Amino acid sequence: MSTPQLVVHRDKQLMAQAAAARLITKIVDAQASRGTASVVLTGGRNGNGLLAALAGAPARDAIDWSRLDLWWGDERYLPEGDPERNVTQAREALLDAVPLDPGRVHAMPASDGPYGKDVEAAAEAYAVQLAEAAGPENHGSVPTFDVLMLGVGPDTHVASLFPELPAVRETERTVVGVHGAPKPPPTRISLTLPAIRAAREVWLLAAGEDKAQAAAIALSGAGEIQAPAAGAYGRSRTLWLLDAAAAAQLPRSMYPPASP
Ligand SMILES: O=C(O)[C@H](O)[C@@H](O)[C@H](O)[C@H](O)COP(=O)(O)O
């Protein structure tokens, strides 16, 4: 378990730009050392804000888009192309503007796909896809994600792991169906905490005053069942990327001064 490291930026826009620059460097370094990179995207305003910032970043095409695997931490279980699906929003923010290898863009199943209303079957299919991409060093569960990004909800949820609901309690499976999510839509697919914790680095994105309480709770030693964000950590790095508004309730000693 890697101890959370915090970086606080002046505002939401600068946090998105700085996080995008950080992601470019991380991907370029991974591709330079291993010939490929694997990133897990998150939905939500902060996640999509980062992708939009990346789309406009001057160094964007330092990334070899053809050698990048993209996965999702969660997905709203809606029909293909629904504007509320995380993959739809990611395509609009960035993916449709860069030359990705379509075979390496691993969207989670849609509700009008082969699994129909059976979200558990859809989740299991994604778990199989992850296992098939895993190398022998991954103990057959999920591939080694270079970076797994998670937006943080005001209730401290990450992905579609909501406080006290069954999905956050899952300790074996890597992907589960979610019913009755308090954040609409109610039916979702989500990576579980064991899958999240397989990532080399986990980056939690929290910007805006509506995230201040969640950040304070998650970083104060709360349990992962009550505060799922507290259970989201990477094998070698756990990085909280905040803006000053989201950091407002944190002890000042917890992080260096916000960027100028
Ligand atoms: O499917 C989703 O809704 C997201 O994956 C979810 O986990 C999101 O990241 C958080 O709710 C934060 O969302 P905001 O950044 O919009 O607050």
Please say whether the dihedral angle defined by the alpha carbons of residues 120, 123, 125 and 130, taken in this order, is positive or negative: negative
Give me the residue label for tokens 């064991």.
Answer: 194
Whole-number Å distance between alpha carbons of 128 and 245: 40
What spacing in Å lies between the alpha carbon of 206 and ligand 1's midpoint?
10
pLDDT at 259 over 80: no
Residue 168 tokens read as: 């956050």
Ordered structural domains, the chain, with CATH: 8-144+152-254 (3.40.50.1360)
Strand order in the sheet with 175-178: 74-76, 188-191, 175-178
Does the beta carbon of 46 lie inside 6 Å of ligand 1? yes
User: Across the strands, what pairs with 74?
Assistant: 190
CA atoms within 13 A on the CB side of 249: 16
Whole-number Å distance between alpha carbons of 14 and 168: 31
What spacing in Å lies between the alpha carbon of 105 and ligand 1's midpoint?
20
Does the beta carbon of 111 lie inside 6 Å of ligand 1? no
Mutation to probe ligand 1, out of 13, 40, 41, 42 (largest number of atoms < 8 A from CB): 42
Q: What is the pLDDT of residues 69-84, one digit of tens each?
A: 999 999 999 999 999 9
Q: Which of 127-136, 169-178, 188-197 has the lowest mean pLDDT?
A: 127-136
Whether pTM > 0.80 for this model: the answer is yes
Render the burial of 132-155: b for 16+ CB within 10 Å, e for the rest: ebbeeeeeeebbbbbbbbbbbbeb
In this predicted structure, what is the pLDDT of residue 249? 97
Query: What are the Cα distances from residue 214, in Å, to 40, 83, 147?
Result: 22, 27, 22
Residue 63 tokens read as: 């990334």
Does the beta carbon of 42 lie inside 6 Å of ligand 1? yes
Nearest CA to ligand 1 atom 11: 153
Does the beta carbon of 85 lie inside 6 Å of ligand 1? no
Phi and psi for 152 in degrees, rounded to 5?
-110, 125
DSSP 8-state symbol, 7: E
ipTM value greater than 0.85? yes
In this predicted structure, what is the pLDDT of residue 148? 98
Question: What is the average per-residue pLDDT within 211-226?
Answer: 97
Atom of ligand 1 nearest to the CA of 46: 15
In this predicted structure, what is the pLDDT of residue 258? 63
Q: What is the pLDDT of residues 40-99, one digit of tens each?
A: 999 999 999 999 999 999 999 999 999 999 999 999 999 999 999 999 999 999 999 999
